[in-house]
């Protein structure tokens, strides 16, 4: 039975769906990857097991890696210039901030 | 003048360290052997990574509209869209 990954409630496009998929897969495989990495790094473990662990780690699919998910803009789906505090890209942030939708955000003057 | 007492052997010092670690519940690794514990020490960030995109709400606008037919729920954005489209229709004549 294929497990369904929940659709995001924000703006949805292909890239966001792909990123969401990677996030879920990476989170699923996190324990396994951690265990394999531990075995590979452990010098008290026999060499053969270490090599096997390293190989298994290398052959795991790319979507299981924690560095694959990218913070995308939740309003436009843009992958670049995303402020992680607001989960928005710079233009969307600017629009929202000028509309007063972001609490405590105002033009910087000092 | 104090005389220097004979220093205990390395083996003895190791035994002391081992018992000390047992008492104080610390890890005994005097040779700094790489055990890979630094990998296990790191926090898991799976749940935080998943929760980046908000979950889709199971209740949608049309459900509320259908559940309470006596009330008017204006869909402002859609009404604006329809009004703009009607303007296009008017302008084209």
Question: Model confidence over A72-100: pLDDT tens digits?
Answer: 999 999 999 999 999 999 999 999 999 99
Inspect the interface and report whether the beta carbons of B45 and A30 lie closer than 8 Å. Answer: yes
| Dihedral sign for Cα atoms in the order A52, A55, A61, A62 | positive
**Residue B37: its chain A contacts at CB < 8 A?**
38
Which pLDDT score, from 0 to 100, does residue B4 have?
Answer: 83
The whole-angstrom separation of Cα A13 and Cα A74 is 10
Inspect the interface and report whether the beta carbons of B55 and A66 lie closer than 8 Å. Answer: no
Q: Is B41 on the interface with A (CB under 8 A)?
A: no
Give the H or E element holding residue A82: strand A82-83
Give the H or E element holding residue B23: helix B10-24
- In angstroms, the separation between the Cα of residue A110 and the nearest Cα of chain B is 33
**Reported ipTM:** 0.90
Q: Which of A4-8, A38-42, B48-52 has the least mean pLDDT?
A: A4-8
In the predicted structure, residue A31 carries a pLDDT above the cut 70: yes
Which pLDDT score, from 0 to 100, does residue B93 have?
Answer: 74
User: B29, B36, B43, B57: which to substitute to probe chain A, counting the most A Cβ within 10 Å?
Assistant: B36
Which parts of chain B have pLDDT scores under 50?
none
Which pLDDT score, from 0 to 100, does residue B2 have?
Answer: 63
Is the pTM higher than 0.90? no
């Amino acid at each position: 039975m294929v497990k369904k990954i929940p659709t995001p409630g924000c703006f949805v496009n292909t890239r966001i769906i792909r990123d969401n998929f990677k996030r879920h897969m990476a989170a699923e495989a996190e324990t396994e990857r951690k265990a394999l990495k531990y075995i590979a790094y452990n010098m008290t473990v026999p060499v053969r097991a270490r090599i096997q662990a390293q190989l298994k780690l290398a052959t795991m699919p790319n979507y299981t890696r924690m560095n694959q998910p990218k913070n995308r803009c939740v309003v436009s789906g843009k992958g670049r210039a995303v402020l992680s505090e607001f989960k928005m890209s710079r233009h969307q942030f600017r629009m929202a901030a000028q509309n007063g939708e972001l609490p405590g955000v105002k033009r910087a003057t000092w | 003048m104090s005389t220097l007492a004979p220093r205990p052997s390395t083996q003895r010092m190791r035994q002391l360290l081992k018992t000390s670690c047992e008492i104080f519940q610390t890890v005994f690794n005097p040779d700094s052997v790489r055990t890979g514990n630094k990998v296990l020490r790191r926090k898991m960030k799976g749940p935080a990574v998943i929760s980046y995109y908000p979950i889709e709400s199971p209740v949608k606008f049309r459900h509320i509209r259908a559940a309470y037919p006596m009330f008017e729920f204006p869909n402002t954005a859609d009404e604006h869209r329809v009004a703009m489209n009607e303007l296009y229709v008017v302008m084209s004549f």
